[in-house]
Amino acid sequence: MSDSVSSEAGLGHAVRASDSRSGSILAGRAIFLIAFLALWQAAVAYGFADPAFVSSPTSIVEAFWKLVEDGDLAPNLLTTLVEIMISFALSVVLGIASALVLDRSDWLNRILSPFLTAFNSMPRIALGPLFILWFGIGIASKVVLAVSLGYFIMLLSTLGGLKNVDRDLLLMSRLFGASELRLFRDVRLPWALPSIFAGLRLTLIYCSGGAVIGEMIAAQSGLGLLVQSFSGRFDVASVMALILVVAFLVMALTALMDWVERRLLEWSKGSTDVPG
């Protein structure tokens, strides 16, 4: 009885310690951000940095509100968001599907591996104008460019996770009569999920970058088009404001993905993190 009480007390202490650490992390982030912005503003105000090259936090805020008031931000943000979501979904579906096929067929994996490496090594920025030529200046060319970046990340992360399943665990599961379907569902897939989610984060980042870069090359609308336009006018504040919009957009999507990961991988919580 006393052991049970002490265990519950220890668990409660660990939970409170975890909540306390979460609060301190948020406070630390806020302090770091405020200090960074204050130093930036002070450097510009006292002449240590040229606002023509680095702008300032207050100028960026003013440029952001001007974009909102002029109605330029919302439609272009929507275009970029649609491109990111489509390219991300295609990268995930195609990458995971390809990884499953290559994982099941070592023969096919050996044949395609050098070609996949060659395609992945191609500079996408150099291919961007070709994608514009082949698919036009609409959304399609931006999606293709972003998928060409995200697909390989998703493929390699998923394949790596599936290939690195503990062999003893697979052997024990087979000895207990697990079928291939159940082996995949209960052993291989859960084991690969951390690698898959790591790939999802990188895929989201690269798809976002690919979409914006494609818009900067040639586009009818999008945040990248605005960045290119304001860059031509040497409007550093507006460029920085748009870059921060993209950054916060990706941060919000990544936070949503982290929440989903915590829900799906709740079974592994605490496997390596031991409260001190």
DSSP letters, the chain, are -HHHHHHHHHHHHHHHHHHHHHHHHHHHHHHHHHHHHHHHHHHHHTTSS-HHHH--HHHHHHHHHHHHHHT-HHHHHHHHHHHHHHHHHHHHHHHHHHHHHHHH-HHHHHHHHHHHHHHHHS-HHHHHHHHHHHH-SSHHHHHHHHHHHHHHHHHHHHHHHHHTS-HHHHHHHHHTT--HHHHIIIIIHHHHHHHHHHHHHHHHHHHHHHHHHHHHHS-SSSHHHHHHHHHHTT-HHHHHHHHHHHHHHHHHHHHHHHHHHHHHTGGGTTSS----
Averaged pLDDT of the chain: 83
Tokens representing 230 are 């304001």
pLDDT band of residue 239 (cuts 50, 70, 90) is very high
Q: Which has the closest alpha carbon to 157: 105, 100, 109?
A: 100
Q: What is the structure's pLDDT at 75?
A: 92
pLDDT band of residue 176 (cuts 50, 70, 90) is low
Query: Which of 85-99, 193-207, 208-222 is predicted most confidently?
Result: 85-99
Mean pLDDT, to the nearest integer, of 175-199?
76
The answer to whether 195 and 158 are in contact (CB under 8 A) is: yes
What's the CA gap between 21 and 78, in Å, rounded? 36
* pLDDT, tens only, 104-122: 888 898 998 889 889 888 8
Q: What is the structure's pLDDT at 194?
A: 84
What's the CA gap between 208 and 40, in Å, rounded? 27
| Separation of CA 166 from chain center | 27
* pLDDT, tens only, 57-86: 899 999 999 989 888 889 999 999 999 999
| Separation of CA 89 from chain center | 12
pTM of structure: 0.81
CA distances from 166 to 69, 158, 170, 187 (A): 56, 15, 7, 9
- Whose tokens are 């440029």? That residue is 63
Of 129-138, 153-162, 175-184, 197-206, the poorest mean pLDDT is in: 175-184
At CB < 8 A and 24+ separation, what contacts does 72-76 make? 72/226, 73/245, 75/221, 76/221, 76/222, 76/223, 76/225, 76/226
Q: What is the structure's pLDDT at 19?
A: 57
The answer to whether 60 and 237 are in contact (CB under 8 A) is: yes
